[in-house]
Structure 1
Amino acid sequence: MAIELVVFDLAGTTVKDNQDVHRVLQLALAKHNVTISIEDANAVMGIPKPVAIRKLLEKQYIGTRAIDATWIDVIHHDFVEAMIHFYKTDAGVGEKEGVSDTFRRLRNSKLKVVVDTGFDRQIVDPLLERLGWKKADLIDASVTSDEVERGRPFPDMIFRAMELTGVKDVKCVAKVGDTSSDLQEGNSAGCPLVIGVTTGAFSKEELLKEKHTHLIDNIHEVVQIVSDFT
């Protein structure tokens, strides 16, 4: 059964990320007197950010304030506002090398291309506008974690991507991402191709711990992997 849809992660997989998301998350928590390291932030990359914030608070907060939905919402709001500003204004924002060409080659082969992410829609729209993928007709759709019941590592975003593109069988879907939660998402959905990108948030050694079909250094390798799959 041939691949019809490829679902790509954003930050770290297709979008440059010099630990930018990590630092914004770190600063959002610091505003509330919660100190986390870059390594702490990296451990929660890929999952919905409210979930990530709760995990970080539970691990690192040493005060007496209750870790409740209200406080998490406030921190998340600070994070979202800072990420929107970053993606709109920072000179370093851009796609990773070879991404547009990879998308174009997949689309020229009549495959559907969707991006999914642990970000909310508020962050993703200005990012996609900046990247120009939609205007260039390089992606079919995007799915954000706040648009589904459960974000990664659950399969909901992949199933939503299938709905948006009319793909009926998950055995025709490939998932590509740079974090453990990306690979877990692909596996929980039942994707026959689960491809880890080793040049993002997680190292090759970390990704090797997760079930996968391929680990790649460069995004353009996806084209041949998908082409070879039957």
Structure 2
Amino acid sequence: MNVKLVVFDLAGTTVKDDRNVHKVLQKALAKHGVTVSLEDCNDVMGLPKPIAIRDLLERRYEGSRPVTAAWINEIHKRFVEEMILFYKTDPSVGEKEGVSDTFRKLKAHNMKVVVDTGFDRQITDPLLERLGWKSEALIDGSVTSDEVERGRPYPDLIFRAMELTNVNDASQVVKVGDTISDVHEGQAAGCGMVVGVTTGAFSREVLSEAKPTHLIEQLPQLLDILEI
């Protein structure tokens, strides 16, 4: 396979995540009187967060308030504020083991590296600044859910990443992520390889049901698959 572009998810794939996103989402909903479990939140990981919030409200809210776009936006605003604060200040924030080295080796082999995410740009920029990948020229770009018409599991994020890097053939793209929606996104785009990471939101057993082309535990294992 002639790989020209590798598209990586952020939280849970390349960024350490001890269910931190789950907890912030749970807290944002609790502030509005909606109780959800961490497992409920796990079910919607990888999706654009307004869609995830709507899904959780429709499944778990037992009150009489209508689930409107305005209410979803209120909760999402709270979620964004809390995530920005977390990514700017929490000492646990950092990349998963071997990520920067993996990016360097991919780029040394003339492969473009882009990150895509279910977050919007407001959350993503502070995170990327904290990680230092942009200043160290380890990534060629980033795509967020609010920059495309449809987020995961649709292929729009990957198609945007291809536009940013002048890659025209999806069969030359590798998608890497830790959620079922990551896998479905890669499949919908027609990526030549779709790699599930089993040490994030979903277990090997659950991810395997989505039928990725490969499963790995740690990101550097991707280099073996690509024979680097």
Tell me which residue corresponds to 1:150.
150
Give the TM-score normalised by structure 1: 0.98
Give, in angstroms, the shift of residue 224 of structure 1: 2.2
**Structure 2 partner of 1:16:** 16
Question: Please, which runs of 5 or more residues in structure 1 have no aligned partner?
Answer: none
- Counterparts of 1:1-230 in structure 2, within 5 Å, are 1-227=1-227
How many pairs align? Answer: 228
Gaps of 5+ in 2: none
Deviations 1:25-62 (A, max 9, x none): 00000000000000000000000000000000000000
Q: 1 CA distance for matches of 2:76 and 2:227?
A: 40
Quick one: which amino acid aligns to residue 56 of structure 1?
L
Q: Percent same amino acid at aligned positions?
A: 67
The one-letter code matched in structure 2 to 1:165 is T
Aligned-partner residue type, residue 157 of structure 1: L
Separation in 2 of the partners of 1:106 and 1:178? 19
- Equivalent-residue separation in structure 2 for 1:207 and 1:171 (angstroms): 21
The Cα of 1:222 is off from its aligned counterpart by: 1.1
Runs of 4+ in 1 over 6 A off after TM superposition: none
Q: TM-score, normalised by structure 2?
A: 0.99
- Do 1:183 and 1:195's aligned partners in 2 also have CA atoms closer than 8 Å? yes
In 1, distance between residues paired with 2:77 and 2:205? Answer: 33
Are the aligned partners of 1:187 and 1:211 in contact in 2 as well (CA < 8 Å)? no
SS at match of 1:35: coil
Give 1:226 shift: 2.3
Mapped to 1, the partners of 2:167 and 2:209 lie a distance apart of: 30
Within 2, Cα distance between the matches of 1:226 and 1:153?
24
